[in-house]
Structure formats: C-alpha cells, structure tokens
A and B are shown apart, each in its own frame.
Chain A
Amino acid sequence: MNARSIRFQLVGWYAGLLIAVFLLLGTLMYAGLKLYLEESLSQAQLRRARQIAETLLANVEKTGEAHVVSEINSWFAPETNDRFIRITRGDGSVLYVSSSPKDASFDAAQVPPLRNAGQESAWRKETAAGKSLLIATVPWQSADGRRFLVEVGVSLDPVRAVLHRLILLLVLGLAAMVAVAVAGGYLLVGKALGPVEKMTQSAEQITLHNLRERLPIAQTGDELERLSISLNHMIARLEDAFQQNRRFIADASHEMRTPLTIMRGELESIVDAAPFASQVQETAASVLEEVERLARIVEGLFAISRLEAGEAQKEYRRFDLAELATSTTEQMCLLAEDKEIALSCTAPRPVMVEGDRARLKQVVVNLLDNAIKYTAQGGKVGLTVTVRDGKAILEVADNGMGIPAEARPHIFERFFRVDKARSREAGGAGLGLSIVKSICAAHGGQVDFQSQEGVGSCFKVELPLADVQNRKLEINHGT
C-alpha cells in the first residue's frame, strides 16, 4: 500500500489521534485511581492510629504500657489482619511493634523508624525489604506529658495489583480500539474515496482521441461530485482547445493549397519551357522542389488533423494486414536492395483487421522507409505480422544505428528529427512517425518502439483484430 495515499494518511492520523486521546485518558484514570486508593487507604490507617491513640494511649498513665500492648493485640490482632502497628516513645524507644503478618506481605521488624516526626498526623510510603507499605502516623501527648508516636500501616500490594490490572485492561482496550479504528477507518475512507478511484480510472482512459468522453459524475452531493463536475468542465475546455487547434491546422493547410497550386503550376511551366536560361530553369526547379516539399508538409498536417478528429473512420473496411505487409515489402525491396540491406517479411497467415487500407499501408511504408534509411549498407530489416494477446502485431526490426536515448521521448512529435542535417537532405518533413502514430491511434491501436544505439530499433504496431473469428484462429494456432 502506498504510504502517501490519502487512505493511508487518513487512517494513520485517525489511529494516531485515537491512541493519543486514549493514552491521555488512561494516564488520568491511572493517576486518579492511584490517588484515590492511596488516599482512602491512608484515611483508614489514620483513623485507626487515632483510635489507638485516643482510646489506649489516653489512659496510659493509669493503665500502664503493658495494658496498651495487650489491648492492641486483642483489639486489632495486627498479625492476622495483615497490619503493621508500632508505638514509639518520645525518646525513640519502641513501646510496641507488631510482628510480621501471616501472609508475609512485609517484615515488620525491617520497617525503618520515622525520622523527624512533626506535630501533625501524616502518612507516608515506606519500603521494607522490597515490600511497600503505607504508614499513617499520629503523634500523641499523654496527660502526664509523655510523647508517643502511633504508626499504623498496611501493605500496598492490593493497591498495586488493582493498578496493574487497570494497566492491563487499558493496554488490551487500546489494542482492540486501535484495531477497530484502523479497520473501520480504512473501510470508511475507502468508501469515501471509491468515486475518486473510479474517476482516476476513467480519466486514464481519456486520450486525445476520445476527448468527447466524460468522467462519471459521483452523485454524492459532496465535494467529489463538485470535483468530477469541474474536471468534466476542464475536459470540455480541453476538447474545445484541441478542436480549435485541429481546425486551425486543417484550415491553414486548406488555405495554403491554392497558393501552393499556383506556385507549383507557374514553376512547372518555367521548368518545362525551353527558352529560358538554364540558370533560371535550375533555380525554378529548385524552388519547385521546395514547393513540393511544402505541399507534402501541408498534406501531412492535414492528414494528422483529420486523423485526430476521427474523420477517417468512414472509410473502414476489413482487410488482410499480412497481405498488405507482404505486398508493401515487395514494392519497397528495391530500396533495400539498393543499400544491400536484406529485407524480409514474415507474415505466414492472414491477419484480418478493420481500417483504412491506404492509411495503414502508409504506416508500413513509413516504418520500412525509416528502417532502411537508418540502417547501414549490408544490414538487415525484418517485417513480421502476427497475432498476439488478441491483437494484430506488426513489427519492423532493423540492426541499424538505433535512436539516441535523448531523442527517444520525442520521435513521435511533429517536425522532430533525430539528425536534422541528414534527414532534411533526404527530403523528410519530420512528420512520418507522427503520422504513423496518428494513424495507429485513429484505428484504436498504438505504436511503440525499442531501440539501442548501435544495435538497432524495433517498432511495434498493435491493432485490434477485425472480428472474433480471428481470435479463434489465434487459439487454434496457439500463438
């Protein structure tokens, strides 16, 4: 999954926020509970300590210290109640200390004495031999002026246990909540972004040749609906702009025809007429050549604009691409022979396609001409026609000079030339491959190429097959 997708980011933020809130709440809960538990425990201990002080120590001068000890043992039974009780005299000597409780939750003898006890009752936490205790202290002065310090404590273990359980609960709850949040968020965001996915897919389908199509409107009434509507408006404006561009090219090439006709006609009559000086005739001839090239460029531009407007479809017919390839190769073999290039055509079975035969012939002619032009003396050019993956495939491969890497992205552009000086000399207008591309696109196909400098190039044309029969053929032949 793409870590930068909206879905991922939204779910991430969503889960992160939930975790943060939960952690804050959990911490507050933990701290609150801890405070409450310790507070109530210490209050209980304080009460007990006061009880001891008020009921037993109040009369110590009458009853004597031994009485206090026995009273505490019988009243409070600290060992059985897991309690710690210690009474210290003002001089620091111990009057009474309970022994270790039965559950051995602490060792009473190890509890350190309270240093610098104040005049107020207080509570503290004490650690004795690794065990934690909560101890309440109450100072007491008897009627005869003797000072005592009553300490009552309990083990903090039960509190700790409760808090541990709370942490466990919180962790489990957090895990469950994060899981639910992530899953739910993922589904929800997915649902919300569904129309976006659809729009992306249809937007990818829209090319220069089907600008008439529109994106599906997400009828959700939300931002996505607005987005799809404004995207459609944008496509409409694009279509408009392209149409204007096409119309301009068509009009321009159309308007240029008449002056070109006149120039051509007048120049021809000069070239044809004998009485002129040969210098004049030669100049006129050279201008005539340029006029013819200009006418070809105009023709090419007009053809491209027509193809892009999808006007060629009226002339579609079924025909055999293999036969077209074979006959065109025959017509061009002399060109190859002239350069001692071995030109071969492999088209063993009929491959029926639907389209404008003359236009597709132009594709074959242009590709073969390029291959021959850019392959050195003694090279090889091969043309193959096959059926592959339900498509008609026409390939022109050569072992020529190849296309330089920096030129590769541009070779289908209008007026682009790999080697400007060279191809202009050969009379090229730089429209050959862009016409090839337009023809292929107008037929619902595409053209692609692979090239390695110094090794050769291979141009591949893919066209849809004419009918199902052909596809059966493909299955039978097992290509």
Chain B
Amino acid sequence: MRLLLIEDEKKVAEFVARGLRAERFAVDVSNDGQNGWEMASTYNYDLILLDLMLPGLSGTEVLKRIRRQSTQTPILVLTARAGTGEKVEHFESGADDYLTKPFAFAELLVRVKALLRRGANDRPNVLRVGDLEVDRLTQQVRRAGKRIELTSKEYGLLEYLVANAGRVLSRTMIIEHVWDESFEGLTNIVDVYVRHLRSKVDVMHPCKLIRTVRGVGYCVSDEPTP
C-alpha cells in the first residue's frame, strides 16, 4: 500500500509518516501544495492524506484538482479548521473523510484502514484477541465460546478496543470514537464503561484482556503483562 501525505508542517508529517511506516505502509511525503499535486497526478496512490493549509497551492485547490482528474483514490483531509460547515463543503468537493487537528494517531490509523478497506471487502467480520471473539456482523461477543450480553455502547467500546488490539488508546480517543463530540471532556464516562465491560468480559477469567495503562488509557491485549 502506498500513501501520499501532503502536509507542510514538517513535524506533523514526520510523526504521521513514521507511524504509518510502522504499520507497513509505504509513505511519500510532500511539504507543499504544488509538489503534492504533481506527485498525486504522477503516481498511483492507494490513499492521500491532505492538509488544507498549504503553501503554494491550497489544500482545497489540490483536492479539487485531484477530483477533476477523477481518480478514485480516497482522500483523508487533515485540518485545523473545525467548522461542520467546512466539513460538509469538503465532503462535497471530494474528501472521503475528515480529521480535525489535534488528532490521535490511533484515530488516523483507524480512518486510513477504513478508507483502504472501502470497496474491497476484506474487513474481517470476526475480531479475535486470545479467546475473545467479536463478531461485527451479528454484534455478538464470545469469551471461551460463551456468549456475553453487552449493551450497544459497551459493544461499541469493546469493538474499538479489540479492533486496535495491542495499541494503547487514550480516554479522549475512545470518547471521540465511541461516543460523539458532545461528550468531549467527559473522560470518566470511559472509566465507568470499562469497569462494566471488565465485569462482563474479564472477571471470570485468569487472563485479563482489558488492561489499564497508567496515565494514558486502555489497551486490549492477550500478551502476558511484563
């Protein structure tokens, strides 16, 4: 998979590229609009990450040009602008998804993977961590073959944790993904839900899958804790 990152803030570009490369993506980085547009029109990328505030050619203009060329390449827009009105505007001019700065890298990764999966139906229906199974189609959860009843929010939380198994997710990321923007700042709601989830998923089992990472958040993993 080859991705293009058009982002003028070098440090942002650096950590995003580093993170994506760690996920085994090939990442090309362009630091201005004109160059980015040239690269986008020259090579065939699987996905383009586009910052809107660019020197040279504005991100909006790049977006329009790429779409005029009618490439099917999914575009994920990164921006410091947060208005919903602008969001709609960019969806209309061809953005496939939208991420507001400051974003969590895990969130970026989730979106990137979702956009890459789009069309190609290789998204696994059943997620597994250890003896825990999450079926995305039926929304059923089993642990060691035994069914666990979850409320819809509990399921949403578990699915997000399991889909990012092995990765530490902060409370803010969890809120942004599982709840909605209205709940921003209500980090204790995550703790309460995780506690409930644990009582259903982990309490009867010697191997605790849902782990608290002190100071950060939570992580689902079946690797033995150090």
A residues apposed to B, CB below 8 Å: 254, 257-258, 260-266, 268-269, 271-272, 282, 285-286, 288-289, 291-292, 295-296, 299-300, 302, 306, 311, 314-315, 328, 331-332, 334-335, 338, 356, 358-359, 361-362, 364-365, 369, 426-429, 431-432
Residue in B closest to A311 when the chains form the complex, CB atoms: B83
Whether A257 lies near B80 (C-beta < 8 A) is yes
What is the CA–CA distance of A260 and B103 in the complex, to the nearest angstrom? 9
Residue in A254, A268, A300, A429 whose beta carbon sits within 8 Å of that of B104 in the complex? A268
Q: Which residues of B contact A263 (CB under 8 A)?
A: 102
Contact status A306-B180, CB under 8 Å: no
Encoded as 1 (CB less than 8 Å from any A CB) or 0, chain B from 203 to 226 comes to 000000000011110000000000
9 cross-chain pairs, A with B, having the tightest CB-CB distances, nearest first: A285-B215, A265-B15, A260-B102, A261-B102, A361-B182, A257-B80, A285-B216, A362-B182, A261-B101
* Interface residue count on the B side (C-beta < 8 Å): 45
Stretch at the interface among B55-63, B111-119, B138-146, B164-172: B164-172
| Complex-state Cα separation, A432 to B183, whole angstroms | 11
* A334–B83 CB distance below 8 A: no
B103 touches A269 (CB 8 A): no
Q: Which residues of B contact A286 (CB under 8 A)?
A: 215
Establish whether residues B215 and A262, one from each chain, have CB atoms under 8 Å apart when the complex forms.
no
Nearest A residue (CB) for B189: A335
A288 to B16, CA, bound (A): 16
* B101 and A257 contacting across the interface, CB-CB below 8 Å: yes
Residues of B within 8 A of A431 (CB): 185
**Is B122 in the interface zone, CB < 8 Å from A?**
no
Question: What is the distance, in angstroms, from B175's C-beta to the closest C-beta of chain A?
Answer: 10
B9 and A427: CB pair below 8 A? no
CA distance A292 to B81 in the complex (A): 17
Flag whether B184 is at the interface (Cβ < 8 A).
yes
Q: Once the chains are docked, how many angstroms separate the CA of A314 from the CA of B87?
A: 12
* B85 contact set on A, CB distance < 8 A: 311, 314-315
Q: Are B216 and A288 in contact (CB under 8 A)?
A: yes
Binding stretch for chain A, among B36-44, B64-72, B190-198: B190-198
| B166 → chain A closest CB, angstroms | 9
Contact partners of A285 in chain B: CB under 8 A: 213-216
Contacts A261-B102, A426-B188 known; A266 to B182 CB distance under 8 Å? no
Cβ-defined partner of B185 (8 Å) among A271, A291, A332, A428: A428
Our pick among A261, A288, A299, A306 for the contact of B170 (Cβ within 8 Å) is A288
B76-90: CB near A (< 8 Å → 1, else 0) gives: 000011111100000
A sample of 30 cross-chain residue pairs with beta-carbon separation below 8 angstroms, ordered by A number, consists of A254-B80, A260-B102, A261-B103, A264-B102, A264-B104, A265-B12, A265-B105, A266-B11, A269-B19, A272-B167, A285-B213, A285-B215, A285-B216, A289-B170, A289-B215, A292-B171, A296-B172, A299-B82, A299-B184, A306-B83, A314-B84, A315-B84, A331-B153, A334-B153, A335-B188, A358-B180, A361-B182, A362-B182, A362-B184, A369-B186
Cβ-defined contact, B188 with A358, below 8 A: no
| B111-139 CB contacts (< 8 Å) to partner A | none
Q: B9: which of A258, A334, A358, A426 is its contact (CB, 8 Å)?
A: A258
B187 interface residue, CB < 8 Å from A?
yes
- Inter-chain CA distance A272–B173, complex, in Å, is 14
Inter-chain contact B196/A334, CB cutoff 8 Å: yes
CB within 8 Å for A427 and B101 given contacts A265-B15, A288-B170, A311-B83: no
Looking at B106, B181, B185, which has the most chain A CB atoms within 10 Å of its CB?
A: B185
B155 partner residues in chain A, CB cutoff 8 A: none
Contacts of B185 in A (CB 8 A): 296, 300, 427-429, 431-432
Contact of B106 among A268, A334, A335 (CB under 8 A): A268
A-chain residues with CB within 8 Å of residue B2 when the two chains form the complex: none
Q: A254-B80, A269-B15, A296-B172 are in contact. Are A289 and B216 (CB under 8 A)?
A: yes
A245 vs B153: C-alpha distance in the bound complex, in angstroms? 40
Kindly report which residue of chain B lies nearest to residue A302, judged by CB atoms: B82
Q: Which residue of chain A has the shortest Cβ distance to B191 in the bound complex?
A: A338
CB pair A282 B193 closer than 8 Å = no
Q: Are A254 and B81 in contact (CB under 8 A)?
A: yes
Distance in angstroms from A121 CB to nearest chain B CB is 109
Contact in complex: A365, B213 (CB < 8 Å): no
Residues of A within 8 A of B184 (CB): 296, 299, 362
Contacts of B193 in A (CB 8 A): 334
B15 and A295 contacting across the interface, CB-CB below 8 Å: no
Q: Which residues of A contact B15 (CB under 8 A)?
A: 262, 265-266, 269
Whether B18 sits at the interface, judged by CB under 8 Å, is: yes
Are A334 and B192 interface neighbours, CB within 8 A? Answer: yes
Query: CB < 8 Å: which of A331, A364, A428 contacts B179?
Result: A331
Q: Determine whether the beta carbon of A269 is less than 8 Å from that of B18.
A: yes
Closest to A313 in B: B85
- B10 → chain A, closest Cβ, in Å? 9
Q: Which residues of A contact B83 (CB under 8 A)?
A: 306, 311
Name the residue on A nearest B106 (C-beta). A268
Q: Which residues of B contact A331 (CB under 8 A)?
A: 153, 179, 183
Cβ contacts under 8 Å, A260 to chain B? 101-102
Chain B residues with CB below 8 A from A288, complex form:
170, 215-216
Q: Determine the residue in chain B with the shortest Cβ distance to A303.
A: B82
A315 vs B83: C-alpha distance when bound (angstroms): 10
Name the distance in Å between B176's Cβ and chain A's nearest Cβ. Answer: 10
Assembled-state Cα–Cα distance A336/B170 (Å): 22
Complex CA–CA separation, A428 to B183 (angstroms): 12
Most A CB contacts (10 A, CB to CB) among B171, B192, B216 go to B216
Determine the distance from Cα of A335 to Cα of B187 in the docked complex, in whole angstroms.
Answer: 11
Cα distance A257–B179 in the bound complex, in angstroms = 22
The chain A residue sitting closest to B195, CB to CB, is: A338
Contacts of B216 in A (CB 8 A): 271, 285, 288-289
A268 touches B180 (CB 8 A): no
Contacts of A429 in B (CB 8 A): 185
Smallest CB gap from A427: residue in B: B187
Query: Which residues in A have their C-beta under 8 angstroms from that of B183?
Result: 331, 365
Question: 8 more A-B contacts (CB under 8 A) besides A263-B102, A271-B168?
Answer: A257-B101, A266-B15, A268-B170, A269-B18, A314-B84, A365-B186, A427-B185, A428-B185
